[in-house]
Amino acid sequence: MGNRPRANEWIDLAIARALRTGEMLAVMYIDLDGFKPVNDNYGHPAGNVVLKEVSGRLGNTIRQTDSAFRLGGDEFLILIEGLTNPLDAETVARKLMTTIGSPIALENAVVQVNASIGIADLSPPASLGRVALLACADDALYQAKQEGKNTFCVAKDSSTNIAGS
C-alpha cells in the first residue's frame, strides 16, 4: 500500500491518462469511524493490528487496476481508473464500507470500525487538477461525517453539489 507522496504522483498520472483516453476516474477519501476508542481502550499495538487488517481488506476489495494508499493515521485513499459509469464508484464505496465494517479479532477482544467515504470523480473532458479533485473528495468526506458517519457522499467534479448515500 502506497503513501501520500505516491498517491499524489499516481493521481497526477491518472488524471493525465483520463484526459488522454476520455475515461472517468474517481478518488475516495476514507476515514475510519471508531478507531480512536480502539487505541484508547486496547493500546496502540491493537490499533496497528486494526490498521493492517483494514489495509489488507481494502487491497482485497478493490480491482487489481485500482490503487490503495494510506495517507496517515486512520485515513486512506482509493484511486479508481477506467470507470464507465459514475455509479460504479458508489458501488465500490458500498463494498468497502461492508468489508471495513466486519469485526476484527484482536488478541483479547473483537472490535469493529466503520468508514466514512468522500468520493470525487473526474469525467473528461472536464479537467480538474489533483489538488482540486482531492479538495472535492475531502469536502464530500466532511459531508459524510456530518451525516452521521458510516456513510459516503459524492462530489461531482468541481461542483458544490454533494449527493449523499
Query: What are phi and psi for residue 148, nearest 5 degrees?
Result: 115, 10
CATH number for position 21? 3.30.70.270
Q: What is the pLDDT of residue 124?
A: 75
For residues 48-57, give the mean pLDDT.
Answer: 97
For residues 24-28, give the mean pLDDT.
Answer: 95
Q: What percent of the chain has a predicted confidence (pLDDT) above 90?
A: 82
Whole-angstrom Cα distance, residue 157 to residue 126?
Answer: 8
SS3 at position 2? strand
- Domain encompassing residue 86: 4-164
pLDDT of 163 over the 70 cut:
no
Whole-angstrom Cα distance, residue 99 to residue 123?
Answer: 27
Q: What is the pLDDT of residue 123?
A: 82
Domain tally, the chain: 1
Q: CA nearest 159: which of 61, 143, 151, 48?
A: 143
SS3 at position 153? strand
pLDDT of 159 over the 60 cut:
no
Q: What is the pLDDT of residue 160?
A: 38
**Segment 102-156, tens digit of pLDDT:** 999 999 999 999 999 999 998 876 778 999 999 999 999 999 999 989 999 999 5
Q: What is the pLDDT of residue 25?
A: 94
125 upstream amide cis, omega within 30 of 0: yes
pTM reported for the whole predicted model: 0.91
The pairing of strands 110-111 and 104-105 is antiparallel
pLDDT of 6 over the 90 cut:
yes
State the average pLDDT for the chain: 91
pLDDT of 165 over the 70 cut:
no
